[in-house]
Amino acid sequence: MTEHSGLAVACRRVVQIYRGEGGDVVALSGVDLSIAPGEMVALVGPSGSGKSTLIALLAGLLRPSAGRVNVGTFDLGRLSDREVSRMRGTQIGVVLQGAARNLLPYASLWRNIWLAQRRAAATAGIALSDPESVLDLVGLSGQGNAKVGDLPPGARQRAALAVGIAASPGLLLVDEPTSQLDTAGRDEVIAALAKVNAERGTTIVVVTHDAEVGSALGRVVTIRDGRVGAEGRDGQDFAVVAGDGTVQLPPEVLEELPPGTLFTIDQAEDGTVTLVPDRR
């Protein structure tokens, strides 16, 4: 067995621009985000808001157009393709949306895990858990000989999680793990993520549209229009001041204060800040 610990994540003024013949598309426009080692975070937001782009940057699958993306002590933008690929095989685990994209359906669970461990096994200083211990973490103990294609959807998604944590990464990135599951399957996946975090201290970042998943992870970061728009912690919602001093107002507030609204800012001695719109 190896000692496990989570990796910190830090994004500073991250911009991502997709170049195309029809023009440039700005997917992220100045994201600031800090995640502590061992923290669990849900990324939520409407389609096209930039969630999947952000998780691809954290995985090193994309390089930021501007800004910094740090995982642990590494600035991913400064690493070579080979170095980033090595991190994905050892320190960063990635579970793509759709369990089948992460698994060999004709192979057993044990073989899927072994294949995911190969790069880490050849890296000095990394001791790996045996496949059965990995399966136990995600609630699939005793099913190592089962073929992936024979599993029900919930178990197949947990098998994908097992592959994601097979190399004992400090950061696990998971894209929409419950999107095609019923309530029971969703709850099994949530329980598996919680157990991985509790027993290994793995930092976990999940992209999800499911409010129940977000609530279970504890910290919810809302991405809107390519920026961090809000955060939810312990059931309470907060606006977030970005690195450039801007604040994205919640949609319900924008109905009362649409773009272009003039207002003054009053700050009381106790630190309370009040926005006073100009009603003239």
The position carrying tokens 């057993």 is 108
Question: For residue 103, which amino acid is it?
Answer: L
pLDDT-derived band of residue 280, with 50, 70 and 90 as boundaries?
A: low
Q: Please enumerate in sequence order all residues whose Cβ is within 8 A of that of 230, keeping only pairs 6 or more positions apart, or say none.
A: 221, 222, 224, 237, 238, 239, 240, 248, 250
Q: Please enumerate in sequence order all residues whose Cβ is within 8 A of that of 194, keeping only pairs 6 or more positions apart, or say none.
A: 40, 216
> Mind listing the pLDDT tens digit for each residue in 44-99?
988 888 999 999 999 999 999 999 999 999 999 999 999 999 999 899 999 999 99
pLDDT-derived band of residue 134, with 50, 70 and 90 as boundaries?
A: very high
pLDDT-derived band of residue 16, with 50, 70 and 90 as boundaries?
A: very high
The four Cα atoms 45, 48, 50, 51 give a dihedral, to 10 degrees, of 50
Looking at residue 197, its pLDDT comes to: 96
> Does residue 271 surpass a pLDDT of 70?
no
> Mind listing the pLDDT tens digit for each residue in 31-57?
999 999 999 999 998 888 899 999 999
Mean pLDDT, to the nearest integer, of 257-274?
75
Looking at residue 225, its pLDDT comes to: 86
Looking at residue 163, its pLDDT comes to: 96
Q: How far apart are CA 210 and CA 42, in angstroms?
A: 10
DSSP H or E segment with residue 82:
helix 81-90
Pairing of strands 40-44, 219-224: parallel
Looking at residue 2, its pLDDT comes to: 46
DSSP H or E segment with residue 65:
none
Rg (CA), the chain: 21
Mean pLDDT, to the nearest integer, of 134-157?
94
DSSP H or E segment with residue 124:
none
Looking at residue 231, its pLDDT comes to: 83
Q: How far apart are CA 101 and CA 83, in angstroms?
A: 23
Question: What one-character DSSP code corresponds to residue 3?
Answer: -
Q: Please enumerate in sequence order all residues whose Cβ is within 8 A of that of 105, keeping only pairs 6 or more positions apart, or say none.
A: 147, 148, 149
Mean pLDDT, to the nearest integer, of 258-264?
75
Task: Tell me what percent of the residues of the chain surpass a pLDDT of 70.
Answer: 95
Q: Which domains does the chain have, with CATH numbers?
A: 9-248 (3.40.50.300), 250-280 (no CATH)
> Mind listing the pLDDT tens digit for each residue in 146-200?
999 899 999 999 999 999 999 999 999 999 999 989 999 999 999 999 999 999 9
* Angle, alpha carbons 192-204-132 (nearest 5°): 40
Backbone angles phi, psi at 249, to 5 degrees: -80, 145
> Does residue 218 surpass a pLDDT of 50?
yes
pTM strictly above 0.85? yes
Looking at residue 5, its pLDDT comes to: 83
